[in-house]
Amino acid sequence: MALAAAAGLTLGLVSPASADVIPPADTATNGIGGPSNNWPDALVKGTFNNGAAPIGTNDYSCKPSEKHPRPVVLLHGTWMNAYNSFSGIGPVLKEEGYCLFTLNYGHNVLTNRGGAAAPIPGVFGTRPVEESAKQVATFVDAVLAGTGADKVDIIAHSQGSLVAMQYMKFEGGKDKVANHIALSGTHNGTSLLGIGDLNRFIGRAINIDPLLDWIVGVAGIQQVYDSPVLLNLWDGPATFDGINYTIIGSKWDEIVTPWEITFIPENQGGNVNNVRIQDHCSVDFSDHLSMQYSPFVFDVVKNALDPEGFPADQIKCSPHAWLGGESDGGFGGIREVGGNGS
């Protein structure tokens, strides 16, 4: 008992800058998984890796450097996990010297409207967006406390961006985030190749969302455009001064449709930069999933995180395949260095 008390006292005297990050138990990853450089491979490995984090992330003792003073929080999308979303960019940013932290948020079960995929191992991001945003708030606070930083940068894919926007607006996050970088974010919703349009048409006569909650999952239905969550988010300011927003979209996106819906107005709060991949790199055929493994996207992210250390003229256009594109070069692993990005 005395030893425990002494340990508690000692912990109490440790300054935030010298403590380790202690992730909340309900979102903690389980060890570090093996390498993966493309979405199909990461999907398989991420299903059976028992919630592991990708290489380069969740070194809980990592302290931000003077060059990169903010920790980076990575947020996966619907039916995904930390491993299959960030096994591409994790090692890349770690090599650049960033402290990277990620979580598996939004775990749900079928009986709680988790959707048909809920019983599959490695499926996260299916709880209501509002609940996931609260989990992110707790996680970010743990990262800030453990690293001693004042703010984080967020890199989010798909639903992760909606969750981040919800966190910033409703859970106190707007004063704790410096950069919000979205890869095909659903913060404006999606028509999902017309399925959402059909849903909205039927909804004029009968609301079938409660039924679809059991099939797609409540978080999935919340991402159909004009959902109550989205209407609430965009009722009043949803972007804020002091935050840089980099929104990356691809015309080959098959999930966020029409693909331009991912972009947000540049005349509201915050500094908004909408990046249309094919405007800068026509040989990048990134879809919704392989975007997470695109070398061109990695360069855009590095520029957004550190525009002085990685200026825009260093962004390289690299060929990248639809769905199966690889993080180390896309087509055949050969990376072009001829064209600038944005």
Share of the chain above pLDDT 70, in %: 84
> Is 3 a member of any domain?
no
The pLDDT value given to residue 19? 87
- Reported as a single tens digit per residue, the pLDDT across 106-119 is 997 777 777 777 77
Tokens (6 digits) for 248: 């990356």
- Identify the pLDDT of residue 213: 65
The verdict on residue 7 lying in a domain is no
**pLDDT interval class at 129 (50, 70, 90):** very high
| Reported confidence tier of residue 120, pLDDT bands at 50, 70, 90 | confident
More confident residue, 212 or 150: 150
Statement: residue 162 has pLDDT above 70:
yes
Could you tell me the CA-to-CA distances from 152 to 5, 62, 92, 104, 329 in Å, in that order? 33, 14, 18, 18, 29
pLDDT for position 13: 36
For the residues 153-182, what does the mean pLDDT come to? 98
> What is the CB neighbour count within 10 angstroms for residue 135?
21
Let me know if residue 341 belongs to a domain: no
DSSP assignment of 129-152 equals HHHHHHHHHHHHHHHHHHH--S-E
pLDDT level of residue 5 (50, 70, 90 thresholds): very low
Structure tokens at 112: 């709680």
Mean pLDDT, the chain, rounded, equals 87
Single pTM value for the model = 0.89
Burial degree of 197 (CB within 10 A; 0-12, 13-18, 19+): middle
Residue 302 maps to a domain = yes
Reported as a single tens digit per residue, the pLDDT across 255-304 is 999 999 999 988 888 999 999 999 999 999 999 999 999 999 999 999 99
Where residue 203 falls among pLDDT bands split at 50, 70, 90? low
Q: Could you give the dihedral angle defined by the CA atoms of residues 172, 174, 177 and 178, in that order, rounded to the nearest 10 degrees?
A: -160
pLDDT at position 50: 83
First to last CA, the chain: 60
Structure tokens at 113: 């409207």
CATH code at position 140: 3.40.50.1820
Q: How far apart are CA 216 and CA 69, in angstroms?
A: 39
Mean pLDDT of 302-307: 98
pLDDT band at 218 (very low <50, low <70, confident <90, very high): confident
Structural domain contains residue 11: no
Q: Which residue has the higher pLDDT, 132 or 214?
A: 132
* 222-257 pLDDT per residue, tens: 999 889 999 999 999 999 999 999 999 999 999 999
Q: Supply the pLDDT for residue 214.
A: 60
Which range of residues forms the domain containing residue 254? Answer: 21-333
Band (pLDDT 50/70/90 cuts) for residue 201 is: very low
* pLDDT, position 340: 44
Residue 334 has pLDDT above 70, yes or no: no
pLDDT digits (tens, 9 = 90+) for 190-199: 987 555 554 5
Is residue 338 scored above 80 in pLDDT?
no
Total domain count, the chain = 1
What is the pLDDT confidence band of residue 72, given thresholds at 50, 70 and 90?
very high
- Domain assignment of residue 316, yes or no: yes
Q: Is residue 13 part of a domain?
A: no
Report yes or no: 270 and 242 within 8 Å, Cβ to Cβ.
yes
Confidence of residue 157 (pLDDT cuts 50, 70, 90): very high
| Amino acid 208: pLDDT | 57
